[in-house]
Structure 1
Amino acid sequence: MTTTTTYVPAGHLGVDEPRARFHDLVAAEWIKLRSLRSTWIAYGATAVAVVAFNTGTAYDTYNHWPQRDAADRAGFLRDGIALQEAFTTNAAMVMMLALGADGAVVIIGEYSTGTIRTTFAAVPARSSVMAAKTVVVLAVTTGFGVIVAGASFGLTQAILGRRGADVPITYPGALTLMLASALLAPVCALTGMAIGSVIRRTAATMIASVVVALVLPLVFTDGRHWSAVAEHATLYQAWNRLAEVSHSPTAFPWTDGGAWTVYAVWAFTAAGLAVTSAHRRDQ
């Protein structure tokens, strides 16, 4: 008897071996993400920190409400300060830093351990693998953002409601603030993922994420037209524009539509960079 062995070139599938379907890749990436205990610890700690910043501000207002005079209380209600306390700037900064790091870890974790080689050996279609990772990160962080933003609004207004200083979700600008705060999570996570896919080094990626999220918005000012345009193009300033209850006059004003455009450009650019970077470089 003669045994015939058929060798399949590396990177090619055998006749009877089906190609990996995209939903299978998404399922595999979801298993990778949820099977890591550090994932849930990171998201849980971030959620607690963000909600704590918001509720802490509301509780401080609750405690000092009796010391306010009538004019101060009326101004608080008239100016919609309760809505500003539903999601504070400190909470937004924490979310940006944490979600950028979480998104980056999805990439640099596999590169640092070398498991990305196994993944690409099993599925040579690198762009499909990275697209699946992007879909999973987008879905998880969007859900995270919605839960945290909703919890922050509900808890802060419940605290302020005990003093009669709360606002309903139908208050002008409330839905915009909640949507902008919720979507800040996936956009920052995709940005961190894109940075990690390009740099592929933990320390350098984290530094770059901090620079992009918080340092760049501080570098530019509204004093010059070019500087104002650059400032408006940052994620933090886009969120800040959408979160403003009353818009103070500036030399170079912009609109909510411009801020939403910044969100979209950052998200699509980051996703595209994350998907294509692995295809153009060795692992």
Structure 2
Amino acid sequence: RRPGVPIGVVIMKAIIASEWLKARTVRSHWVLIIIAMMFPLIISTLVGILNPDPQYVSYREVVSIVASSGAFSLLLLSSLWVINLTSEFTHGTIRVTYAAVPARWKVIVSKALIGTLVTAVVMTVLFWLNLGLGAALLNSRGASIIVDGWFDHSFRVFVALVTFAVIVSWFGLGLGVLIKNSPVAIVVVLLWPLIIENLIALALALSGYESAWKWMPYQTAFQGIEGASG
């Protein structure tokens, strides 16, 4: 290490480098990233090609479609970070890591930093690529997507979507820390926004707490993104 650099900084950099190596050398991670990228791409392409009345489509509708399909992608990215941690428990490689770094929080923080970076980059590319593709296809068919105000509106939705994706990636990593079992943790990640929250909110509503819906984190976040894109 260079003179004057604290040993703690050197160790943290080494842990982050190790976690980055793990994240980019596992095939299942790349498979999930590719699927997360391709699904919105297919949706944007189909909308751009098959929309029967492209001249009536505005940039708000295109942004809404990209944000909605991106909500599916962020669940896949959350599953990626579940697998990133739980697979180490499954194969026993986490023991080597913890033996080298007894301070376990440093390992978890390093995984969270790598997860934040990768998730933010993937969602950024996903959002602007799909928005550009959808707008280009619709513009070629007579729509007027690129008009005054489109960038400010799109950027607000983009920030909301990326922020939500990063938080969900932390949620997936946290579940991995608690559960340590890939199938169970992935099921919770996928079913929580689709079923579990709805059942909890419904049970509370039937018990007299009609406002319970607004306290459900996933539902509130989805509605916030939809509201920003609408």
Q: The TM-score by the shorter chain falls in which range?
A: 0.7 to 0.9
Query: Higher helix proportion, which one?
Result: 2
Amino acid at match of 1:50: P
> Could you tell me which residue of structure 2 aligns to residue 211 of structure 1?
191
* Aligned residue among 44, 68, 72 for 2:34: 44
The root-mean-square deviation of aligned C-alpha atoms, in Å, is: 2.6
> What TM-score do the two structures reach when normalised by structure 1?
0.67
State yes or no: 1:111 paired with 2:85. no
In structure 1, list runs of 5 or more residues that go unmatched: 1-17, 67-72, 248-283
1:125 to 86, 95, 103: 103
Instruction: Give the CA deviation at 1:192.
Output: 0.9
Give, in angstroms, the shift of residue 225 of structure 1.
4.6
1:227-261 alpha-carbon deviations (Å, 9 max, x no partner):
23224xx23431332333676xxxxxxxxxxxxxx
- 2-structure distance, mates of 1:125, 1:245: 41
The question of 1:54 aligning with 2:59 is answered no
Q: Give the match for residue 24 of structure 1.
A: 14
Match of 2:211 in 1: 226
The structure with the larger Rg is: 1
| Structure-1 residue corresponding to 2:158 | 178
Write out per-residue CA displacement over residues 23-60 of structure 1, whole angstroms, 9 at most, x where no aligned residue.
Answer: 11101111111122222222112211122123322322
Number of the residue aligned with 1:241: 224
User: Residue 4 of structure 2 corresponds to which residue in structure 1?
Assistant: none
Is 1:146 the equivalent of 2:129? no
Checking the alignment, whether the CA contact within 8 Å between 1:83 and 1:167 is kept in structure 2 is: no
Q: 1:108 offset after TM fit, Å?
A: 0.4
| Equivalent pair of 2:12/2:106 in contact (CA under 8 Å) | yes
The equivalences for 1:156-195 within 5 A come to 156-168=134-146, 170-171=149-150, 173-195=153-175
Q: Percent identity?
A: 20
Is the Cα contact below 8 Å between 1:26 and 1:133 reproduced in 2? Answer: yes
Aligned length: 215
The answer to whether the 8 Å contact 1:217/1:237 transfers is no
Residues 38 and 225 (structure 1), Cα distance of their counterparts in 2 relative to 1, 3 Å cut: same
TM-score (norm 2): 0.81
Conserved 8 A contact 2:62-2:135: yes
1:207: how far off?
1.5
* Worse overlay, 237-246 or 47-56: 237-246
| Distance apart, 1:161 and its partner CA | 0.8
- 1:201 matched to 2:181? The reply is yes
Question: Unaligned regions of 5+ residues in structure 2, if any?
Answer: 1-6
Measure, in 1, the Cα distance between the counterparts of 2:49 and 2:218. Answer: 28
Could you give the per-residue CA deviations for residues 142-187 of structure 1, whole angstroms, max 9, x where no partner exists? Answer: 1111010111111011111112324238425221122222333322
